[in-house]
Structures are given as structure tokens and as C-alpha cells.
């Protein structure tokens, strides 16, 4: 059964390994993700999130810096930094996932992998980013008369 929550957990773990271990993304995927027995949807979504966050890390980090008052990215707890990276990538590049769901999933990751104080911090940063991202306008119905 595909699980987007599980995919986000895996993507976070890969981001953490990539960030702290300074391993190339392909190596992280081959040593961490490939050996796991995952259905194609879960594995594919985890890989897409990880690769997307890594490929856009410069822009993602700029957004995170802009919305984390008085905190340098380098001083954040590594797990919090990577939860934020993952969620910012998803907020900016996966428009089919509602922002409220993305942020809630990030908070669940913070509850599981970080500290109680981190939940509030991650929420504050992500809410700031969410408000700064222009909402895509809903599709307008076409008139076929």
C-alpha cells in the first residue's frame, strides 16, 4: 500500500544523510532507498521529494532563511533544517498537495524525529513561507455553450 507519509519520512532521512554525510544524491539513493522493499509509488514519491529538495536547495534555503527570524540555517538542528527543506520543496513544487497537508506532515515529522520545541519553530517557518508563495489561482470553468 503506497504511503505518502512513509515517503516523506524516507525523503527526510535521505536529506539528513545527504546534508550531514556530504554524500552525492545518487549514492544516498543507492545505499538508503534502493535496498528497501517499497511499492513503486512510495519509493518514487520519496525519491522525487529527495531529489527535488536537493536540486532546489539554494532557493529553498533562501526562503527558509527569509522566514526564520534570528536563526541561521547552519545553526538550526539538522533534522529541523531538513524537515523545512522537504516541506518548502513540496510547498513550491508539488501544487497538487494542499499546503495545510504539507505543513501538517512536516509537523508530524518534527514530532517524531525532533523535539517538542521544534514543532512550533518548524510551523512558524513554514507558515511564513506558505504566505510568501503566491497561491495558484483556481482553474476557471469553461463555458461550452
Interval 61-117: pLDDT, tens: 999 988 887 778 888 889 999 999 999 999 999 988 999 999 999 999 999 999 888
pTM tops 0.85 = yes
In the chain, domain spans: 4-132
**In the prediction, which pLDDT does 136 show?**
47
Closest by Cα among 114, 55, 122, 50 to 79: 114
Q: What CATH number was assigned to the domain covering residues 4-132?
A: 1.10.940.10
Maximum separation of any 2 CA atoms in the chain, in Å: 60
Amino acid at each position: 500500500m503506497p504511503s505518502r507519509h512513509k515517503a516523506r519520512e524516507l525523503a527526510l532521512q535521505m536529506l539528513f544523510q545527504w546534508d550531514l554525510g556530504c554524500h552525492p544524491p545518487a549514492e544516498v539513493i543507492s545505499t538508503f532507498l534502493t535496498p528497501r522493499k517499497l511499492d513503486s509509488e512510495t519509493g518514487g514519491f520519496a525519491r522525487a521529494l529527495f531529489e527535488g529538495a536537493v536540486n532546489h536547495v539554494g532557493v529553498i534555503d533562501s526562503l527558509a532563511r527569509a522566514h526564520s527570524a534570528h536563526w541561521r540555517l547552519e545553526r538550526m538542528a539538522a533534522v529541523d533544517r531538513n524537515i523545512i527543506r522537504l516541506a518548502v520543496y513540496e510547498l513550491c513544487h508539488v501544487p497538487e498537495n494542499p499546503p495545510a497537508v504539507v505543513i501538517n506532515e512536516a509537523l508530524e515529522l518534527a514530532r517524531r524525529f525532533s523535539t517538542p520545541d521544534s514543532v512550533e519553530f518548524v510551523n512558524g517557518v513554514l507558515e511564513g513561507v506558505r504566505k510568501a508563495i503566491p497561491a495558484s489561482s483556481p482553474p476557471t470553468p469553461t463555458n461550452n455553450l
